[in-house]
A = this chain, B = another copy of it.
Amino acid sequence: MLSKNKIKEIRKLHLAKYRHEQQCFIAEGPKLFEELLQSDFIILEAFSTTPFDLPPHRANLPLQLISASELESISLLSSPNQVFAIVQTPPSNIIYPEKDELILALDNIQDPGNLGTIIRIADWFGIHKLVCAPQTADRFNPKVVQSTMGAILRTQMCYTPLNDYFIKIKDTHLIYGALLEGQNIYETPLSKGGVILIGNESKGINQDLMPYISKQIRIPSYNASNMESLNAAVATGIICAEFRRQNSN
């Protein structure tokens, strides 16, 4: 049974401010929880309406059985789902690509739904590192965590100004920028490794970053009257797929 004070304390974590202060994030639902149990993430506390078989290395996990109505009072979901976990935010060290490793750089993707979809795409294509400009949506925003499911647990991410970052890697890695005026991606040889830079949903790629782009690429349109661009996540998916296709042998 949860005390009123405990419920109040947990509900504070619905606000980004308190999650940042306490360096934790929320993960809900049995599927995500099972993946958490298998991961290296530190689970600070968990609350469940049903018992869980904990793996040996999680034997000391503070897992408390609660009622459905208690779960409802702490959950962020419109349909609360069995288990609610509070997880320690891992340190956000700057990450670098290995030789021949393909990574993503996000220039301020602002919609958590788009960020979640992009993390799922990265995971699908075996891309394990995402470098984000500081204004990119928070990876531990509950909407992102829930929408990516396990992918968030398998993806390393950091937030850092991209110009400083590109200065450090530009001599060893190609930086591909997705731009409407770029070269047709299907007529461009794409390297196995490198950085795919994706711009903000409405503003695209920041002008300051242009000097660091080694190759400008675009997805060709088959519609002359189309003046819009593709959704940022869809464009990311198509570009990642083509990098993998060209280098699959």
A residues near B, CB below 8 A? 113, 117, 120-121, 123-126, 149-151, 154, 186, 219-223, 225-228, 230-231, 233-235, 237-238, 241-242, 244-245, 248
Contacts and interface: CB of A to CB of B under 8 A. Distances in A.
State the number of copies, please. 2
Top 3 closest pairs, chain A to chain B, by CB: A126-B222, A234-B237, A126-B223
Contacts of A219: 124, 241
Contacts of A228: 120, 123-124, 149-151
Contact of A234 (B233, B245, B248): B233
A223 B149 contact: no
Nearest to A241: B238
B222 A125 contact: yes
A186 B154 contact: no
Best-surrounded residue of A121, A149, A238 (most CB of chain B within 10 A): A238
B244 A120 contact: no
- Helix, strand, loop or mixed for chain A's interface? helix
A226 B242 CA distance: 19
A182 B151 CA distance: 23
A242 B242 CA distance: 9
A230 B226 CA distance: 25
Contact of A117 (B226, B227, B234, B248): B234
20 contacts: A117-B231, A121-B231, A123-B223, A124-B222, A124-B223, A124-B228, A125-B221, A125-B223, A149-B228, A150-B227, A154-B223, A154-B226, A186-B248, A220-B248, A222-B244, A231-B233, A235-B237, A237-B237, A237-B238, A238-B238
B117 A225 contact: no
B230 A120 contact: yes
Nearest to A238: B241
Contacts of A154: 223, 225-226
